[in-house]
Amino acid sequence: MTDSGTLATTAQVLLAIGQNASAAQILEENTNIWILQAESLMSTDVDYDLVANIGEFSAYQKQTLALAASSKAAMIGINQNQNSWALSVTQSKLNVLDTLYKESMEIIRKFAK
């Protein structure tokens, strides 16, 4: 199976989820769904179709999009299966990913006009 998303890859999502990912979090079918959900949420958040307009962005902007998309997709995946870690580890991972996502989205809002 190949990646379904445009802004991030399965590998990027798995890196964002981190060590001890569950079997459900490793499945490419799941990460593809989470990437598509993340892309939709991001586009809604900035009121701009980031996927359809991907060709308008520079290489560094695409990396920022990938960071935001993989962070958001990882958050969705962690929320759907938190059994891999203790609650404190889960919350710590979500806090870090949320911070990365928010910082990336602030940058994306500037160039997604």
What are 42-67's pLDDT values in tens digits?
A: 999 999 999 999 999 999 999 999 99
pLDDT exceeds cutoff 80 at 24? yes
At 64-111, the pLDDT tens digits run: 999 999 999 999 999 988 777 888 888 999 999 999 999 999 999 998
Q: Does residue 2 register a pLDDT over 80?
A: no
* 3-27: average pLDDT: 91
pLDDT above 80 for 1: no
Backbone angles phi, psi at 25, to 5 degrees: -75, -20
What number of CA atoms fall less than 13 Å from residue 15's CA on the CB side? 10
Q: Which two tokens stand for residue 5?
A: 């998303």
Alpha-carbon distance of 71 to 87, in angstroms, equals 19
In the three-class reduction of DSSP (H, G, I as helix; E, B as strand; rest coil), residue 57 is classed as: coil
DSSP secondary structure letter of residue 31 = H
The percentage of residues in the chain with a pLDDT greater than 70, rounded to a whole number, is: 99
pTM of the model: 0.92
Type of residue numbered 22? S
Give pLDDT, residue 3. Answer: 80
